[in-house]
Structure 1
Amino acid sequence: MSNRPERRGGADAGPSQRQLRVAEEIRHALSAVLIRGDVRDPELAEARVTVTEVRASPDLKHMTVFVSRLGKTADKPLLDALKRSQPWLRTQVAKAVRLRVAPELHFQPDTALDHAMHIDALMRRPEVARDLGVGTRAAGTSPEAEKDDDAS
């Protein structure tokens, strides 16, 4: 019998506290390297890259790095430049974050901003505003305030 606490939830339980902590350290280390701008690839040297999120695999050997380009989704040339620079970036991360194994970095575009803008555009459509009752009230007033005004 083991004194180790049993892990609950299984595969769908989400990342462990250690995965989250290491991923955040990797995000900070990568951001610092990219901000310094001492990368050799001209595409990366000129780009303003934002590391928005890093997700760690359970064994911490693989990190999925979500990037965007100054408020926009990362395009193919930027992702290609990051993939070309991956071995050097991996070395820089290994120097900054002490881990048993330097993780492999897998770069993905962060589409959260695009998704949020799409949802915002949908919410502003006249038929959605009508269904939600948003367009009928003056800005900053609540339905209760309107009832009070109607009663006087």
Structure 2
Amino acid sequence: MATHRAHRVAGEIKKEIAQIVREEAKDPRIGTLTITDVEVTNDLRHANIYISTLGQKDIEGCKQALGKASGYIRSELAKRIRLRYAPELHFKLDDSQTYGEKINKLLDKVKGEDNEK
């Protein structure tokens, strides 16, 4: 169970990383992405950043570019947020949107079968 402070820090990290990626990232592989969620550990040493890339074909290239830029993003984050330790950043793909689309298709299929009866 994450503490209240961890939730507040996660929100601040989300805001700052979104701004850093949007304004300062120079790698064209990153493209347009959305930071959907940030989870931090209770000791604030690690942060899982969930990203969503709508309409982008090279998702793995985007993750690799973010992995390479994670040191720069971490140093910029340390300058903007006053914490004892800058959290180690782990970028993960948020597949909740594709999962939601799959569920909607299944529900439509079930609804169509009910209408046939």
TM over 0.5: same fold? Answer: yes
Which amino acid in structure 2 is aligned with residue 83 of structure 1?
G
Identity of aligned residues (%): 30
User: 2:52 maps to what in 1?
Assistant: 68
User: How does the TM-score come out when normalised to structure 2?
Assistant: 0.89
Report what 1:117 is aligned to: 101
Look at both structures and tell me which one has the larger radius of gyration over its CA atoms. 1
Measured in 1, the distance between the counterparts of 2:75 and 2:105 equals 42
TM (norm. structure 1) is 0.69
- Counterpart Cα distance in 1 of 2:29 and 2:58: 12
1:111-150 equivalence runs, <5 A = 111-125=95-109, 128-129=110-111, 135=115
Which structure carries more relative contact order (alpha carbon 8 Å, separation 6+)? 2
- RMSD value over aligned CA atoms? 2.0
Deviation by residue 1:28-55 (Cα, 9 ceiling, x = unmatched):
000011121x2232322xx001111000
2:74 corresponds to 1:87: no
Question: Which letter does structure 2 place at the counterpart of 1:42?
Answer: P
Evaluate the alpha carbon distance shift between residue 117 and residue 106 of structure 1 in structure 2; reply closer, same or farther with a 3 A threshold: same
Distance 2:98 2:57 in 1: 7
Does the 8 Å contact 1:73/1:109 carry over to 2? no
Cross-structure match for 1:5: none
What is the CA-CA distance between 1:74 and the residue it aligns to? 7.5
Go from structure 1 to structure 2 and tell me whether the alpha carbon gap of 1:29 and 1:121 turns closer, same or farther (over 3 Å shift).
same
Q: In the comparison of the two structures, how many residue pairs are matched? A: 116
SS in 2 for 1:124: helix
Structure 2: tracts of 5 or more residues without a match = none
